[in-house]
Amino acid sequence: MKIKNFAEIKSFLFDNKTVKQTIFKNTFWLAVAEVLSKLLKLVLLIYVARILGATEYGKFTFAFAFVYLFAILADLGIGEVAVREFARDGKKEKDFPSIFSLKILLNLGTLILIFVSSFFITSNPEIRKLIWILAIYLLMDSFNYLICCFFRARQQMQYEAFARIFQALTLTATGFFVLFNFPSVWGMSYSYLFAAASALIFLLLVFTLKFRLFRIEWNKIVWQRYLAMSWPLALIGGLTMIYNQIDSVMMGYWNQITEIGWYNASYGIAGAFLVVSSFVSTSFYPAQSKYFKESKEILQKIWNYQMEIMIFLSVPLIVGGILLAPKLIGFIYDSSFSPAVLAFQILIVMTGISYLQTPFNRLLIATNQQKKLFWAVFSGTIINIILNIILIPRFSLYGAALATVFTWLVLLLLCLYITYRYTPVNPFRFKFIILKTIWQKIKKLSL
């Protein structure tokens, strides 16, 4: 009986049986990979900051931020389009060798562009070489992502999860080995490169053994077809990358290297809380997509319930984060990172605002308003760049944090307007369902 139960559990977590079971299986594996990999990387980066200090950590995070500005050029949205096309028609998997060859060309072009741009963004030869190493890491990881897209189309996301966990464990192990034996930003950059290369070998082995022999084809017709479909996603992805990395890049351009270390030390902790909102919004998204067609009233109730959860999460997060910031930063880092306290207090407000904004994002996609969402993100990106140009020279990392908070607030207001104007959901019909239920139970108990 025990063996039978174990076999059933194994089959449930590894085989595709029903639609609901497959969705649960894939969500389970991706959730495990997301939480574990981000937790391990966060712990590693905390120790990088503690051992190397704010200035060296600032060099590392600046190089990382600059490299990731070019990440979308290495993909151009092709991975997401491949998932959609392969999932709709399995015969289109024959295009994968040509897509991989296109990926090679995009990566080579991106590498050349990063190399040339590095001479304009910094005059520091050490940081420039660091950028080159991390650029190779980025492109390795880009190949990993494309292979994982093939697994996603097959709805075999456990292999992606295994690869991400393997890469995170490899990075953590090599990273700590370097930190305790050869502490330097160079060693850390090579740790990232080694972990990505190891994951790529793992994915190629799985791809060959489980699916087909790996090969490369050069077909311009296939390239043109997929690029024609992927460019809108490339624009959105490019804006997202710019918005997420431009503050660190600007600070580095103005030689605020130590300040980058403080800023990213606080951002790393504040950003870690965004994982929760991502999981919540992902779980509501399928239901929103379904009831947009079937019942506008149920869609309204679902959105109300999601927003209520986000409010209950965001309010204590903001209040607790502001009050506990000195102790939290002091416990995780050391006294040299005390300037990060105020930055964290500002950024935790950003995290709370993002909790409120996320339900609008998913709803707009579910109701086919992604183009309007694009213009909202575009407006937010432009505002963010302008605010960073104005505030960073005057207030350094605190100016970058304030720019981030204000941008998220603008995005929230824009998405609220678009939702009210162009979707069946009325944000002003929001009701505290959970609060009413709790109050009713308290009244019953008191009676």
Residue 19 has pLDDT above 60, yes or no: no
Residue 150 has pLDDT above 50, yes or no: yes
User: pLDDT per residue over 336-355, tens digit each?
Assistant: 889 999 999 999 999 999 99
Which residue is listed with tokens 């009986």?
Answer: 1
Average pLDDT of the segment spanning 211-224? 80
**CA–CA gap between residue 310 and residue 416 (Å, rounded):** 15
- The phi, psi pair for 83, rounded to 5°, reads -60, -50
Residue with more model confidence, 408 or 286: 408
Asked which of 133-142, 279-288, 372-381 is least confident by mean pLDDT, the reply is 279-288
**pLDDT-derived band of residue 326, with 50, 70 and 90 as boundaries?**
very high
* pTM of the entire predicted model: 0.76
pLDDT of residue 444: 57
pLDDT in tens, 69-117: 888 888 888 877 777 677 667 777 788 888 889 998 999 999 999 999 9
Q: Give the length of the chain.
A: 447
Please, which pLDDT band fits residue 25 given cuts at 50, 70 and 90?
Answer: low
Q: How high is the pLDDT of residue 305? A: 83
pLDDT of residue 6: 59
Coil/strand/helix, residue 15? coil
Q: What is the percent of the chain with per-residue pLDDT over 70, rounded to a whole number?
A: 87
In this model, does residue 405 exceed pLDDT 90? yes
- Per the listing, tokens 């709370």 go with 352
Coil, strand or helix at 108: helix
Residues 136-163, mean pLDDT to the nearest whole number: 84
Return the pLDDT at 283: 61
Give the pLDDT confidence score for residue 262 in this predicted structure. Answer: 92
Q: Which residue has the tokens 């490899």?
A: 170
Nearest to 401 by CA among 272, 263, 243, 257: 263
pLDDT at 37: 84
DSSP state at residue 337: G
Residue of 261, 230, 194 lying closest to 54 (CA atoms): 261
Which one, of 251, 128, 143, 242, lies nearest residue 189 by Cα?
128
For residue 367, pLDDT beyond 60: yes
Residue position matching structure tokens 């980066």 = 45
Write down the pLDDT at residue 26.
64
Q: How confident is the model at residue 35 (pLDDT cuts 50, 70, 90)?
A: confident
Of 44, 83, 337, nearest to 175 (Cα)? Answer: 44
Taking the C-alpha atoms of residue 373 and residue 214, their distance in angstroms, rounded to an integer, is 38
Exposure of 123 by Cβ count < 10 A (0-12 exposed, 13-18 middle, 19+ buried)? Answer: exposed
What average pLDDT does range 295-320 have in this prediction?
Answer: 88
Indicate the pLDDT class of residue 20, thresholds 50, 70 and 90.
low
